[in-house]
Amino acid sequence: MAKIKKAFFCNNCGYESPKWLGKCPSCSSWNTFVEEVIQTGAQPSQATWGDYHPAPDSANGEVGTGITPKNRQTRIVTLDQIQTQKEVRIQTSDPEINRVLGGGIVPGSIVLVAGEPGIGKSTLFLQAGLALQKHRVLYISGEESEQQIKMRAARIDASNDQFYLLTETVTQEIFKEIRKLRPQVLIVDSIQTLQSNIIESSPGSVSQIRECAAEFQRFAKETGTPVFLIGHITKDGSIAGPKILEHMVDTVLQFEGDRHYAYRILRTLKNRFGSTAELGIYEMTSTGMRAVSNPSEILITQKTEELSGSAIAASMEGMRPLLMEVQALVTQSVYGTPQRTVSGFDLRRLQLLLAVLEKRGGFLFGMKDVFINIAGGLKVEDSSIDLAVISALLSSYEDKPLPPTICFAGEVGLNGEIRAVNRIEQRVAEAEKLGFDQIIVSKYNKKGFAAEAKGIKVTALGKVEELYDLLFRD
């Protein structure tokens, strides 16, 4: 009888060790090693997909004709000998998914989608699978029953005769059903619930996640079938499982947002077939996820009266220009230590901007409570909203509202200078499209314009003091 092979894995990063360690050499975490059985005496037969060809659709014959082991030769070639073929992608009815994937679903690609529990991952891809009317879609669920998925589909109010459902967690049984159906798109929900008979450990363990992902990767590459793996995240926001899981897949998507708000962001963290600077924005409704084509109009509050402490920032989320509202509240502190509270903005960045206003502008925020909020529940890391944050702070400090048709795009340095930001022409064009009359930018961005913008006034400033004189001095 063959000997059982065991190893110790770090639950945090997936580092493998032959013995137990108190501290992980890879991620420096303590007490994260667990023992797992990774191999038994009997070696299971490896699945081969040489005779597997997903039947092409009559309306789209190129789908599912990927390279298989039967027609691929393993040999050394030069770049000149490689013949390139036209890249054919599967277009979904969701423009946001097409954007983050780089123009559509690539045949033979494997995509990992991660996000917090309850954020809407299953709803989004169930909706996307039902919308692929011309392709045979197989949805594998290891978390929910068939009745639960049927209820969710009824809530989405979508149907598809080519959409099939399988509730199974053992990969060997899953691939038996795949051979019978021969799907053209595969959705797995979720990879942490699956298990392989090759590994004798519980589902969700490091070795199980790695082996199951490797089996689906082999299936995707050998058959040309796109595979979507829905995954979980840990409490610190990283993708659960070994780090190698992110290296194995072609694309990593992060579905994020505050569950108390209706808006969700589908962000690209890795993409071998497109840009990683793209993102999609959704709104959670009672009938599923709705793609937001123009998020700037939603994120800007339609106020009937002018209020102080509000400024519009022309930001960039990936490659998409986005106008958002920055709200500030400055009040006299009634406690010994002034409060600094932020929502959607970096607290240390706020402290830096307050120090600049005190040092360079002479404003006394030392005994003031300061609150900053990004409307809509977004979390912004773009430093180009510094100018809008300072404008909102000064507006609340002076208790004077800003003109509703003015917006800001600029980074503020430690010396009070207004620094240039990238893609300024896209920001100006977005502000002009939404009807703003004036945008304030850095004077160092002025030379980046090929021509003057039409329909909007571009004001270039160099110092924070100039900003105060322009907005609040009569």
Token representation of residue 422: 């990238």
Query: Nearest CA to 390 among 410, 368, 406?
Result: 410
CB 70 within 8 A of CB 51: yes
DSSP letters, 69-104, are: TTT-------GGGPPP-----BPPS-HHHHHHTTSS
Is 315 labelled as part of a ligand binding site?
Answer: no
Which residues lie below 8 Å from residue 27, measured CB to CB, with a gap of 6+?
Answer: 10, 12, 13, 15
Rounded Cα distance between 207 and 407, Å, is 52
CB 100 within 8 A of CB 279: yes
Which residues lie below 8 Å from residue 80, measured CB to CB, with a gap of 6+?
Answer: none
> What burial letters (b/e) apply to 70-79, b meaning 16+ CB within 10 Å?
eeeeeeeeee
Pairing of strands 185-189, 227-231: parallel
Is 115 labelled as part of a ligand binding site?
Answer: yes
Is 256 labelled as part of a ligand binding site?
Answer: no
Is 336 labelled as part of a ligand binding site?
Answer: no
Q: Length of the chain in residues, anyone?
A: 474
Which residues lie below 8 Å from residue 151, measured CB to CB, with a gap of 6+?
Answer: none
CB 363 within 8 A of CB 370: no
Rounded Cα distance between 344 and 379, Å, is 4
Q: Based on C-alpha coordinates, what's the Rg of the chain?
A: 27
Token representation of residue 310: 């509000």
Is 376 labelled as part of a ligand binding site?
Answer: no
**Percent helix, strand and coil across the chain, each rounded to 5?**
25, 25, 45
Question: Where would I find the H helices in 333-385?
Answer: 347-361
Angle at CA 440, nearest 5°, toward 438 and 445? 125
Token representation of residue 246: 């992110």
Is 120 labelled as part of a ligand binding site?
Answer: yes
Rounded Cα distance between 13 and 243, Å, is 6
Token representation of residue 98: 């097409």
Is 121 labelled as part of a ligand binding site?
Answer: yes
Phi, psi of 348 (to 5 degrees): -65, -35
Is residue 285 classed as helix, strand or coil in its secondary structure?
strand
**Helix or strand (DSSP H, E) at 108:** none
Is 119 labelled as part of a ligand binding site?
Answer: yes
Q: Give binding residues for ATP as ranges.
A: 115-122
Q: Give binding residues as ranges.
A: 115-122
